[in-house]
Amino acid sequence: MSSKFFLKGKSRQVHKRKSEIINKKKAKKPNAPNLENGHESSESDLEIKQFSDAEQSESDHETAEQKKLRLAKKYLQEIEKEEAKRAELQDVDDAIEKRLQRDYLEQKGKLRIQIASKYIAPSKNDVRLIRAKEHRLALTSISVSNDGQYAFTGCKSGTFIKWGIKEKKKLGVITFKTHSQFIKGGITSLALTTDIKYLATSDDSNDIQIWDPHSLKHLHTFKGHKGTVIGLVFRRNTHDLYSASKDRSVKIWSLSEMAYVETLFGHQSPVTAIDALTRERAITAGGRDTTVRIWKIVEESQLIFNGPQGSLDDVKLLDEEHFVSGSDNGTICLWSVLKKKPLYSVPEAHGSENGVPRWITCLTTLLNSDLFASGSYDSHIRLWNICDAYKKFEPIFNVEINGFVNSMHFTSDGKQLYAAVGQEHKSGRWFKKNNAKNGLFVISFNFKLDK
């Protein structure tokens, strides 16, 4: 039974296949194209053949000169397309190369931007005074965000204010009355991280307060100094904080971990100023010990520079290899990290009064450029141009500002200068200018256009 069943099934399949083949042969036309042997072409092949014939017929009507012209135009179009693509890629490559070269030079402290000669003295309309009732006493410090959107000012009355530069108004206020558990006196210093994530403040106490610069919420308190903290600075593009104090020490703090790191000793008198850039280094002015020190933190060593007689009150880095200092005897000095003595000095840079030179109350620099500014109490902010391959500096122009210029800060593009001004010196009440106003001066600069 089973064998018979399989035989019948097989015979049905064979007969079915034979009938299909017969039907296909009948369906074929007598002159059907033989595709397997390639004797005939498909419809698309016929279209292509007709098109090529037409093209050939057109080219037959061209003269030799017309044909050469047509081929030449086609060749030029191809070259234009290739060169356009290459130019776009070249522009991108050039931009990347310039950016990498700039970042490398900045990291090594060898970036030099010649911009001071392009500055034009501002008019009265370019100088604006911003006042706030919360700043009852002299302004002592200022910090401007790297993107130029915010400015923070502190004063002797224990208040610091957040300003919106674009909005041109106050965005927040922290006062001694509202935050007495954190603020113990007048604000002595402000520092802001490059990414605007942390704001550090110091006052007449020994503590350092950390705030959120956006919400002004208190985040942390650093304790450890045994004297008033005079200066604060963040290392650029990091959350490493350096602090200088009257206890003659420099301390390092990590805000990423909210932890103390290290203490640096060396100065023989209270530290009066501190600054830092990208490298793991800090530079400090030692006041009455008349020294400037560069602290090589990784190498655990320091470089000592001997300044002029008097008190070295301020120091600011131009780049990683040059810096300027100001003293209470009115002298401004230009330094190189390779020399123990100043490269160039200008005594009585802001003149004298009754035979006594006016103190240099503050300095600020436009980073990696040949420009810096100095302040005193002679009713002028003076701008200086560093020339002769960083071996000399000379005055450019003065900006009339009445009062003690206690702190200054350039915006990163150099188009504006912010100055914290008061009736008194930031560190004491030795003198007072009753006709001056406590406030924030915003100075806008114009530039010479290259012809």
- Mention every residue, 6+ apart, whose C-beta is less than 8 A from residue 431: 377, 404, 424, 425
- Residue 220's Cβ-count burial label (10 Å; 0-12, 13-18, 19+) is middle
Pick 308 or 192 by higher pLDDT. 192
- Mention every residue, 6+ apart, whose C-beta is less than 8 A from residue 62: 70
Q: How far out from the chain centre does Cα 168 lie?
A: 22
Question: Mean of the per-residue pLDDT values for the chain?
Answer: 85
pLDDT, tens only, 80-107? 787 777 776 666 666 666 766 766 666 6
- Specify the pLDDT at position 448: 76
Closest CA relative to residue 444, chosen from 419, 416, 411: 416
Contact 423, 138 (CB under 8 A): yes
CA distance 311 to 232: 19
CATH of 129-447, one of 2.10.70.10, 3.40.30.10, 3.40.50.10320, 2.130.10.10: 2.130.10.10
| pLDDT band, residue 309 (cuts 50/70/90) | confident
pLDDT, tens only, 283-306? 999 999 999 999 999 999 999 999
- For the segment 202-229, the average pLDDT, to the nearest whole number, is 96
Least confident of 4-18, 169-183, 286-300, 314-328: 4-18
C-alpha distances (whole Å) from 162 to each of 3, 155, 174, 214 are 101, 12, 9, 9
Contact 344, 393 (CB under 8 A): yes
pLDDT, tens only, 159-169? 999 999 888 88
Give residue limits of the domains in the chain. Answer: 129-447
